[in-house]
Amino acid sequence: MSRKPIEIFIDADACPVKDEVYKVAQRYGLKTWVVSNAFMMIPTSPMIERVIVDAGPDVADDWIAEHVAPGDVAITNDIPLAERVLQAGAHAIAPNGKPFTEDSIGSAIAQRALMEQLRSTGDIYGGPKPFDRNDRSRFLQALDEVIQKERRRRG
């Protein structure tokens, strides 16, 4: 039985690790989809494809969720998208290197809802800590690990 090759999907509009994804994908020979609602430069490669979707809430997320397949990898900070990716049997990794898993997604959704409520009442403001070099390193390690794991699983 022939299996579809692993593909990588980048929720690209605010993704700080696109260049790292391109390098890892090239090393493994993986097709990469760069999904955004605005034009952005991508490397010239037959293995990297730009997808520009209409502007609007969740349009890029919907495109990724409709195209991701079991064993693929999605790079996103969007927790509801990560949940949809996991439901499709694919892997989801945040740009800071944190993998979303079946075990962790429920608490991530609950924490997101709580933080939204606290921000809306003015009890808390601001966002996550700034992205740094350690986050980039954790991301590279997590992406490499998930690709290796999926390749071993496939034999």
pTM score, whole prediction: 0.85
For 7-102+131-154, CATH number out of 3.40.50.720, 3.40.50.2000, 3.30.450.20, 1.10.287.70 equals: 3.40.50.720
> What tokens does 68 get?
């991701």
DSSP 74: E
Burial of 140 (0-12, 13-18, 19+ CB in 10 A): middle
Beta-bridge mates of residue 50: 34
Q: So where are the chain's domains?
A: 7-102+131-154
DSSP 38: S
Predicted local confidence at residue 2, as pLDDT: 46
Amino acid at the residue 90? A
Predicted local confidence at residue 1, as pLDDT: 40
Which residues are CB-neighbours of 70 under 8 A, at least 6 positions away? Answer: 88, 89, 90
Predicted local confidence at residue 57, as pLDDT: 84
Predicted local confidence at residue 34, as pLDDT: 98
Predicted local confidence at residue 118, as pLDDT: 63
91-93 and 31-36 as β-strands: parallel, antiparallel, unpaired?
Answer: unpaired
| pLDDT tens for the 155 residues of the chain, in order | 447 899 999 999 989 999 999 999 999 999 999 999 999 999 999 999 999 999 988 999 999 999 999 999 999 999 999 999 999 999 999 999 999 987 776 676 656 566 666 666 776 666 667 889 999 999 999 999 999 999 999 88
Predicted local confidence at residue 102, as pLDDT: 74
